[in-house]
Amino acid sequence: MDVLQADILIPFLAILVVVAFLYASVGHGGASGYLALMALFSFPVLVMKPTALLLNIFVSGIAFWYFNKNQHFKWKLFYPFAITSVPMAFLGGYISINTTLYKQILAVFLVFAILRMLKVFGKQPIQVKENHLVLSLIVGAGIGLFSGMIGIGGGIILSPVIVLLAWGTMKQAAAVSALFIFVNSFAGIIGFSVNKGSLPTEAWYFVPIAIIGGALGAMYGSQKFNMKTLKYVLAGVLTIACIKLFLV
Q: pLDDT tens digits for 30-54? A: 888 898 888 888 888 888 889 999 9
> What is the C-alpha separation between 4 and 10, in angstroms, rounded?
9
Residue 138's pLDDT band (boundaries 50, 70, 90)?
Answer: very high
- Summarize the confidence of residues 231-235 as an average pLDDT: 68
- pTM, rounded to two decimals: 0.84
pLDDT band at 233 (very low <50, low <70, confident <90, very high): low
pLDDT per position as a tens digit, 158-186: 888 888 888 988 888 889 999 999 999 99
Whole-number pLDDT of residue 230: 60
With bands split at pLDDT 50, 70 and 90, how would you rate the model's confidence at 212? very high
Contact between 104 and 148 (Cβ < 8 Å)? no
Neighbouring CB atoms inside 10 A of 16's CB total: 22
Burial class (CB in 10 A: 0-12, 13-18, 19+), 188: buried
Which of 155, 208, 200 is closest to 177 using CA atoms?
155
In this prediction, residues 91-116 reach a mean pLDDT of: 83
Per-residue pLDDT at 1 exceeds 60: no
Contacts of 14-20 spanning 24+ positions with Cβ under 8 A: 15/237, 16/206, 16/209, 16/210, 16/213, 17/209, 17/210, 17/212, 17/213, 18/213, 18/230, 18/234, 19/213, 19/234, 20/55, 20/59, 20/209, 20/210, 20/211, 20/212, 20/213, 20/214, 20/217
Using an 8 Å Cβ cutoff, are 182 and 229 in contact? no
What percent of the chain has pLDDT above 90?
32
From the list 72, 76, 14, the residue with the least C-alpha distance to 40 is: 14
Greater confidence, 2 or 27? 27
